[in-house]
Each structure stands twice: as C-alpha cells, then as structure tokens.
Amino acid sequence: MKLNPLLPIPLQQLEQTDQWLTLRPLNSNTDMLLVLQLWVSAGWLRPLDHAFTAFLAEQEPTVTPTVLLAAALTSYQLSHGHVCLDLALSIEQPAFTLSLTHQFQQQPWFPSQLLKQIKLHEWQLAIEDSRLVSTGEQQAPLVWHNGRLYLWRFWYYEKLLTIHINQRLNTTLLPPKDLSARLNKLFNNNNDKPDWQKIACAIATRTAFSIITGGPGTGKTTTVIRLLALLQTPAVEAGKPLNIQLAAPTGKAAARLSESIGMQVASLKIDEQVRSYIPTSVSTLHRLLGSRPDTRHFQHNKTNPLALDILIIDEASMIDLELFAHLLEALPTQARLILLGDKDQLASVEAGAVLGDLCRNAEQGFYSPETLKWLETTTGEALNSLPLKAGNNQQHPLAQQTVMLRHSRRFASDSGIGQLAQQVNTGNIKQARHLLEKTSNDLRHLMLNQPNDKAFEQFILQGSQPHDGYHHYLTILKKQRPNNTTPIYDPAWKQWANQVLSAFNQFQVLAVLREGIWGVSELNKRIAYHLYHHGYINHFDGWYEGRPVLITHNDYALGLMNGDVGITLAFPIENAPEQTVLKVVFPYNDGTQNLREVLPSRLSSAETVFAMTVHKSQGSEFSHTALILPDQLNPVLNRELLYTAITRARHKFTLIESQQRILDEAIKRQTVRLSGLAF
C-alpha cells in the first residue's frame, strides 16, 4: 500500500506496511514528509508545521530533506514560544530544545532518533545552500543567522526590535536640572538602603528607553507614579505638560494598574495642577495601537505614530515579540518608553520572551563606573558596596538603563511565601520541600489521591479564616443580602454586591491545565457540585446566584476585558419585589465602588471560575491562593509557572498535589525561550 505524505497516517497503519521498513527520510523528500505526517498523527507536530513544510517542498523540488526537517522544526518551535531553531542545541539536547516527552524520544523516526543521524556541519551547509533560505538581505521563507534558523517574519521582528531599542538607548534626554533635589523630595520617607526605587527613577530620566523589573511587592507601580510626578512637574511649571499614556498587554492587567494608580496618584503629595496631568486610566496595547480586525496590522505604525511623550507599559513579561515590534515602530523617536514587569514570571503565550531576554543581566547589575558615579552623585545612594558585577557602556548598554527592585513589601523577611518563591526560582527542590513540610502560618501542603477526596471537599468548603475556601463569599451573599422590599436604587444593594466581590477575591484555586481530572474544566464542575451538595448554591450548572464567571474575550461594547471576574447575583425587579432577576456584577477596577451589571444573556464569552489557570491569574493577587498540580508532567509545567502561582498569594499559599515527583520535576525545569536578542 502506497501512503500519501499529505494525509494523516495512524502509527499502526504505517507499521502494517512495507513502507515502514524502507523509509529513508534523510534521503527522500517524500519519506521526510511521511515522517512529518507521522509526527502529526502522533500529536507531536502541528498540521500547520507539516503543511508549511509541504508547501516549501512544492516551491523548491530540489530542496534537501534535512532542510525540510529544519523548516518543520523551526515552525514547530513557534508553538512552544521559541522565535528560532538553534541547530547545534537541537542535535546536542533534542529533548530539552524541542520539548520532547519520553514517548517521542524512543520511537523510530522521531526527532531525537532522527537527529542522531545528522552531522551539524553538513546540516548547516545544506541550509546555507538552499534557495529557500537567505541571510535576511533578501526576503525568503527562512533566514539563517548566527547558527539559528528563523521564519523570515520573526527574524524581521527581532532585527526591528534590536535596531529600535539601540536607537532609544542612544537617544539622550535631558533630566530635570534640579534632579537630586526633586528625587529627595519624592523619596524622603523611604528607608530602604539602597533605595532602588529612587535609583530607578533617576535612570529613567536619562534616555528614551528604560526597564524597571522586580518581584511582587517591590514597588514597581509606586516607583512609576513618582517617576511621572518627577517628569511632569517641571513640564507643567514650564507650561508644556507631557502627554503620558499608560498601557498593559491585557484588559485584566490594565484594570489592575488603573485601580492601583488611581489610589496612589490621589495620595501623592504634589501640586494639584501636576496631579491633574498624571493619567489614571490604562489602555490595552491593542486598543492603544488601534488593532484592525482580522489582520496583523494596527492603525498606528511608523507612518502614523502615536502622539505621546511618555509610554509606560505594565506586566511587560506578557508581551510577545510581534506585538513588541509593532509597538516600537509606532513610537515617536523622542518619546520615553518605560517597561515594568517581573522578569521571573510566565512569558507571553505567543512566541518570544522579550522582557526575560532584555532583563538577562538585571540581577548582576553590570553598571559601568560612569553609571555608578552618576547614580551616587545624583541619588546619594551608595552602590559600590553591593555585590554587583562590573560592566561597561559598550558591552552592556541596556544594563545601564535597567533597574531591578529588590526590597519586597508584600512578603516579610520570614515569610514562607516569599522564601518558597525564592527557592523555586533558584531551583532548590530540597529547601522548597522543607518549607512546605514545616509548620508555617502562610504555607500549607495537601496530598490528594483524586479530586473527589473528602479532604479536598472540606478544603473547598471552609477553613478557619475568611480567606479559606469559598464558604466566606457565599455566606456574605446570603446573610448580608438586603431585604427584597429594599428599593433596587437603594445604595444597600451596591454595598452588598461589593462585599460579595471583595469576599470572593480572598480565595482562588489555580490549576496548570484546562482539561483532565486536575484541569480547570473538571475542577469547576467538581467544586460547584460540592457547594451545591452542602447547600451553598441552589444549582451547579447553567446560571445560578453565586456563580463566579471569567470573561475570556474583550467585549468593548460592555466595557469588559479578557480576564475580568464577576459574580452572578439575584436582584429584585422594580415594582415586583417578590420576583428577582439574575445579573452578573463586575467591578470597574478603578479604585471606586462602581459596578457594571450585565444580564447573563449578553455574556457570550464567560466561563465558571472557581478554578482558573495560572496563566489567567497573571496580574492578580488573592489573600489565599491554592495551586493544584496535575498527576502527570506537562510541557507547560515549570518553575516560572510555579513562581507565578505562588506569588499570586498575599497571606497564604496552599500546594495541592497527588504525586510528589511532579513538583520536583517542575522546579528542575526552567523556561528557556530561544531567540537571538542580545544587548
């Protein structure tokens, strides 16, 4: 039987043919495409990767099989967040580089077995000689650069990023003349030594690009508010206020920043006129750039740049390479771009880990003698005594504009949560286990056999504190609910709804996966059933009072963003108080107590959120966070995901697992997204 290399091939069907014995994928393009199709059928390669490779084979019939293999692997790498394929690493460490699970390492004709037959030098020569590949000077499907193979579009984005950031680093902007005095006035109550927030503000005044990174509670938002006051005050005094814009990658992150900034600007001791010129509303990056439906393009670009003087972007770790490139193209040359984010958090869902790449040297410092002298003179902070590595302006230009905040105000020095996050971040399995197993006020460890364990049911229902379990918000929902005879316009209804929302945000279950017995889909059903069984809610499917929902797509008509969380509540109908109508209430997240009330029928993209994925939780924090690990390893499970989950907790963190080895293996795994970004 002759197999078609363009059609799905079940593994057992291939094994039943003589073709299995005669496949020579490194000698025949047809055999190579058959092997790629086998990978698709096995669930390792995407159909898109195979289709792209088959298209290249049609365009260039004389292409060698090893070039087709490289093209398929390059396309596949994008699905795992990598911008390119590193050929040497693919041969030396195929399991690590290509995210191979055990089953894909052992089967004949699977990547690790196939790559053993390839010599790196010959593979590189074949790629360099192919008409499908260029060095970037001419447009071609693939680009070969410094031992890495790119799809042309992503090579272009990376080159664009490098050019624009270097240009901004070389764009010197004049800081305020009395910078030292202004800094001292803004930071006169800060006892940190050295005061990294003050240092960050000083550095950000010098050029058109700077980065402020740091873990939870290190004061990134506080720093940027004072920076805006520092820059806007002299501009307002001169009668030329700066146009400042604030943005974040997602609607949820934008809402959280709006809420935080709104409160901090109001409490800042500055001139009222200056305060009026510091924005408190935050836009999503897509809305700021003006996304065009069904295209990759934006209204604002290099020919139609944004009209602004300063752009602050929060949660920058979530920005992918493509969006970052579009953003830089749309920025005016003299505009200041300031990135805020935690370099150790989960990277973007799409290809690229831009903030992680840019902050590669943040912890070591690499400040030049000139930078250190300027900082000490300007800020009065002593840095020479710190264990920072020496750098110079030529080899480490980006380091001179990067500051890592190091003093956490969220976690005390003896905080179990803070220590656990640090041990996970450094890959210390033994110490992480020790912290989880010893008695601690803010850490808890729970072993379960399956999600319907009585221990899990009890954990979900109630605990000793208001932020333990989901009983707290449901108790407030029932016991503090106004009487139905209370007019619907009475402020008591709004106060009650805010109390329920606040109580729900005290506790949150996080999961790694969407599907499976430990995934959010199954967990949400299980938790809802437990709550129903014990009388906390009157239904466990459909729409019911008490149902928490997560918005999964931006809805600009309703003013709801991807990641917004609301609670379904029953309100009396005006003039018919004995009847009620269900409405989903959402906070505005702007520091006020205002609410959006939406009929469930208008929510086309909402799902129950007793449990949410760690990815969806980015930008949020809860009094008590519980992370449930799956019973099997998964490629998305790594130390960055663990760190992100742990640091969502403010007062208490619970780890729930059924297999101890899962946590240990996850701590071993560190996300390394391959790219060529270097500064």
Q: Which regions of 310-465 does DSSP assign to beta strands (E)?
A: 310-313, 336-341, 365-367, 389-390, 402-405, 443-447
3-state secondary structure of 586: strand
3-state secondary structure of 548: strand
The pair of three-digit structure tokens given for residue 159, joined into one six-digit string: 């080159």
Q: Which residues contact residue 219 at a Cβ distance below 8 angstroms, ignoring those fewer than 6 apart?
A: 197, 405, 407, 409
Cα–Cα separations (whole angstroms), residue 475 to 415, 462, 529, 549: 30, 11, 17, 18
Q: For residue 158, with 0-12 CB atoms within 10 Å meaning exposed, 13-18 middle and 19 or more buried, which class applies?
A: buried
Q: Which residues contact residue 262 at a Cβ distance below 8 angstroms, ignoring those fewer than 6 apart?
A: 280, 590, 591, 592
Q: Which amino acid is at 622?
A: F
Decide: 245 and 211 in contact? Cβ < 8 Å: no
Give the DSSP H/E element, type plus range, for residue 435. Answer: helix 429-437
φ/ψ region of 538 (left if φ > 0, alpha if ψ in -120 to 50, else beta) reads alpha
The pair of three-digit structure tokens given for residue 295, joined into one six-digit string: 């295209």
Cα-Cα-Cα-Cα dihedral of 452, 633, 661, 631, to 10°?
10
The string of DSSP letters for 602-667 reads G-SSEEE-SEEEHHHHTT--EEEEEEE--SS--TT-SHHHHHHHHTTEEEEEEEEES-HHHHHHHH
**d(C-alpha 67, C-alpha 140), whole Å:** 14
Q: Is 219 annotated as a binding residue?
A: yes
Decide: 100 and 94 in contact? Cβ < 8 Å: yes
Q: Is 221 annotated as a binding residue?
A: yes
Order of strands across the sheet with 244-248? 283-284, 244-248, 310-313, 336-341, 209-214, 402-405
Alpha helices in 320-388 (DSSP H): 321-330, 354-358, 369-379
Q: Which residues contact residue 197 at a Cβ distance below 8 angstroms, ignoring those fewer than 6 apart?
A: 187, 190, 219, 222, 223, 226, 405
Q: Is 644 annotated as a binding residue?
A: no
Q: Is 216 annotated as a binding residue?
A: yes
**In DSSP terms, which residues pair with 446 in a beta bridge?**
656
The pair of three-digit structure tokens given for residue 9, joined into one six-digit string: 């091939």
Q: Is 81 annotated as a binding residue?
A: no
**d(C-alpha 34, C-alpha 14), whole Å:** 10
**d(C-alpha 442, C-alpha 417), whole Å:** 7
What is the DSSP-derived secondary structure letter of residue 180? H
**d(C-alpha 518, C-alpha 522), whole Å:** 7
**d(C-alpha 202, C-alpha 179), whole Å:** 8
The pair of three-digit structure tokens given for residue 398, joined into one six-digit string: 């980006």
**d(C-alpha 159, C-alpha 155), whole Å:** 6
Q: Is 591 annotated as a binding residue?
A: no
The answer to whether the Cα torsion of 93, 98, 104, 109 is positive or negative is: negative
Binding residues: 214-221
Binding residues for ATP: 214-221
